């Protein structure tokens, strides 16, 4: 039996727009039950998500290796759809790895990353999903370059609002361009964040996570809970809150005891009716198990 597990990801870490991502220990798991007359996907998403070869996982697999023998597969996932935790990226990675394993594993991780980035459009979710941990990556001239940084000593307080926020809608809230001076300032903050993360200066990195100038200010009206969570954290003396991906999920990174305290306080607020998760960083990335 073949089992593939792909972690959730939190991208756009503060000012690391479309370039910095973190793998979190919340998994999509795909189990291959055996050959079938046609592709069959058992999943928990309801009738709105295809259960045949039209499923994103299978479409992705067949895009990489078109002549795969149809299989009966089972998908389980804790990752909510359209919430900013990389659900589409995990499906793409699962599909690519499925095709790779069923065809004798001819592709390297770098080749799978290249393909996943081309499909997703940017690498900030697929790179940590494949490589694990904290990854800084860029996609330029149709080539992805990814650098794994030291794993932070953080846990993640994850608040998931009940309302979906599609990436397309969130993208529409962004400006078409930034003034030259604003772009320089935003870039310098992002550069310093990467340096702080590389040097394991977690205290400085937490502060810089809240200094984004690329996207949060334009999307904040779509996610009113962001200011509530951030202010609650500040009242507890905590920094490190940011909008995960395109939203609406909100993540606060910090020592486990601190983010546990934050979650306890947030649960007392009747305006926050969404879901809470306390997650560790996933250092392994996509995992394959054969039995």
Q: Is position 89 annotated in a ligand binding site?
A: yes
Same domain, yes or no: 126 and 181: no
Q: Is position 268 annotated in a ligand binding site?
A: no
Same domain, yes or no: 13 and 36: yes
Same domain, yes or no: 173 and 270: yes
Q: Is position 219 annotated in a ligand binding site?
A: no
CB 3 within 8 A of CB 258: no
pLDDT in tens, 81-138: 889 999 999 999 999 999 999 999 999 999 999 999 999 999 999 999 999 999 999 9
Q: Is position 87 annotated in a ligand binding site?
A: yes
Same domain, yes or no: 12 and 91: yes
Here the CATH number for the domain that contains residue 272 is: 3.30.70.890
Alpha-carbon distance 204 to 92, whole Å?
34
Number of H helices, E strands in the chain: 10, 11
Q: Is position 280 annotated in a ligand binding site?
A: no
Number of separate domains in the chain? 2
Same domain, yes or no: 138 and 98: yes
Same domain, yes or no: 145 and 159: no
Q: Is position 85 annotated in a ligand binding site?
A: yes
Alpha-carbon distance 290 to 57, whole Å?
19
So what's the pLDDT on residue 170? 85
CB 91 within 8 A of CB 245: no
So what's the pLDDT on residue 171? 85
pLDDT in tens, 144-168: 999 999 999 999 999 999 987 877 7
Q: Is position 44 annotated in a ligand binding site?
A: no
Given the DSSP bridges, would you call strands 71-77 and 40-42 parallel, antiparallel or unpaired?
A: parallel
So what's the pLDDT on residue 56? 97
So what's the pLDDT on residue 167? 75
Q: Is position 80 annotated in a ligand binding site?
A: yes
Q: Is position 230 annotated in a ligand binding site?
A: no
Torsion of CA 253, 190, 150, 28, to 10 degrees: 60
- What value does the mean pLDDT take over residues 219-228? 94
Structural domain of 205: 155-280
pLDDT in tens, 162-218: 987 877 788 899 999 999 999 999 999 999 999 999 999 999 999 999 999 999 999
Cβ-based neighbour number of residue 103 at 10 Å: 15
Q: Is position 88 annotated in a ligand binding site?
A: yes
Q: Is position 81 annotated in a ligand binding site?
A: yes
DSSP H helical ranges for the chain: 56-64, 87-102, 109-120, 126-131, 167-172, 180-198, 202-208, 216-219, 225-235, 256-266
Here the CATH number for the domain that contains residue 79 is: 3.30.230.10
């Amino acid at each position: 039996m073949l089992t593939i597990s792909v972690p959730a990801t939190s991208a756009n870490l503060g000012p690391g727009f479309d370039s910095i991502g973190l793998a979190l220990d919340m998994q999509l798991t795909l189990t291959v039950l055996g050959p079938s007359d046609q592709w069959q996907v058992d999943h928990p998403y309801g009738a709105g998500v295809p259960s045949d070869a039209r499923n994103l996982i299978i479409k992705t697999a067949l895009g990489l290796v078109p002549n795969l023998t149809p299989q009966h597969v089972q998908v389980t996932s804790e990752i909510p759809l359209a919430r900013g935790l990389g659900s589409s990226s995990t499906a793409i990675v699962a599909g690519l790895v499925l095709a790779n394993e069923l065809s004798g594993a001819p592709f390297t991780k770098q080749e799978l990353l290249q393909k996943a980035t081309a499909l997703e459009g940017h690498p900030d979710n697929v790179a940590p999903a494949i490589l694990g941990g904290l990854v800084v990556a860029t996609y330029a001239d149709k080539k992805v370059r990814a650098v794994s940084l030291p794993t932070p000593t953080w846990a993640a307080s994850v608040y998931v609002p009940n309302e979906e926020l599609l990436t397309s809608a969130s993208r529409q809230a962004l400006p078409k361009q930034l003034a030259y001076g604003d772009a320089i300032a935003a870039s310098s903050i992002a550069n310093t964040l990467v340096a702080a993360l590389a040097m394991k200066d977690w205290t400085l990195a937490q502060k810089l996570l809240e200094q984004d100038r690329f996207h949060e200010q334009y999307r904040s009206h779509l996610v009113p809970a962001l200011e509530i969570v951030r202010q609650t954290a500040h009242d507890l003396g905590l920094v490190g809150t940011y909008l995960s991906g395109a939203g609406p999920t909100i993540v606060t990174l910090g020592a486990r005891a601190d983010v546990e305290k934050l979650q306890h306080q947030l649960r007392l607020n009747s305006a926050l009716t969404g879901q809470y998760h306390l997650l560790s960083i996933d250092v392994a990335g996509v995992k394959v198990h054969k039995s």
